[in-house]
Amino acid sequence: MLIAQLSDPHVRPDGVLYQDVADSNAQFAAAIAQLHALDPRPDLVLLSGDLVDKGMPSEYAKLRELLDGLEIPALVIPGNHDDRDVFRNAFRDHGYLPSAGPMHYAVGTHGPVRIVALDVTLPGLHHGAIDDAGARWLDEKLAEEPARPTIVMMHQPPFATGIPYLDPYACRGGERLAAVVSRHRQVERIVCGHVHRFMLLRFGERLLCTAPSTTTAIALRLRPDASPASHLEPPAFLLHHWRPETGLLTHLLPIGAFPGPYPFA
Ligand SMILES: [Fe+2]
């Protein structure tokens, strides 16, 4: 099973640049085109939050127009830049989304890997949180299918990155998540967005990775007094490949046209 993860596209209204510098709509369209060019194509696309930049209905209209061109099934979660109500309305045809409250869900109908999405966003705030109710929901969902390879998807990552301008906006209550996932060995990966960079670490005895954004990359600055910045690095996405013999293997693919192919391996 091939699962693409696109994150943080920050779609804007037609003709408007993201942060006045990046054509995030064109970049998201390029990401979708690159998915379609993969052979074999992914079975499923995960969109891990910040689907639009300011939660505006005109942004969701543009997002849906772009996603109407996607020929692969997609599962969505909101990020801190999404508006929960406008988001829910924009995706009212996505029957797996609950009709009220946090948008937690579990979907296992696209192949062997089951996707369990935990909505850790807090409306109006940039950081996220896992409360007791969210941790209990996740524990119960994971207990339903203990032998099924599983991806847990959330927006804000539950750890301190070491990048000082990101860490105030992490997901709080990570110790609750670590306790839950450590009890469920079938969790092949916890996948997040939010930080606009690829990161990989062990978390709660499982493997956790964050996806780059399809638009800007947040600068990797590790000094405690560093000031916030971003770059127009080559955007990228993740491709999670599940096979019984390896478990889940994650590729990082830059988006764009590059010289090649050349006749050597
Ligand atoms: Fe973002």
Q: What is the DSSP letter of 235?
A: P
Strand partners, 169: none
Ligand 1 centroid, distance to 22 Cα (angstroms): 13
* Three-state SS at 137: helix
Q: Which residue has the tokens 């979708």?
A: 32
What is the 38 CA–ligand 1 centroid distance (Å)? 25
64 by Cβ neighbours in 10 Å (0-12 / 13-18 / 19+) ranks as middle
Ligand 1 centroid to 106 CA: how many Å? Answer: 23
Q: What is the pLDDT of residue 163?
A: 98
> What is the spatial distance between Cα 124 and Cα 202, in angstroms, rounded to a whole number?
30
pLDDT reported for residue 43: 98
196 Cα–ligand 1 center, Å = 6
Structure confidence by residue, pLDDT tens digits, 224-242: 999 999 999 999 999 999 9
pLDDT block averages, 10 residues each, the chain of length 265: 98 98 98 98 98 98 98 98 98 97 98 98 97 97 98 98 98 98 98 98 98 98 98 97 97 96 95
C-alpha 126 to ligand 1 mean position (Å): 10
| Beta bridge pairs of residue 203 | 206
Condensed to tens digits (0 to 9), the pLDDT of residues 6-63 reads: 999 999 999 999 999 999 999 999 999 999 999 999 999 999 999 999 999 999 999 9
Predicted pLDDT at 101 = 95
Dump the DSSP string for 25-67: HHHHHHHHHHHHHSSSPPSEEEEES--BSS--HHHHHHHHHHH
pLDDT at residue 2, rounded to an integer: 98
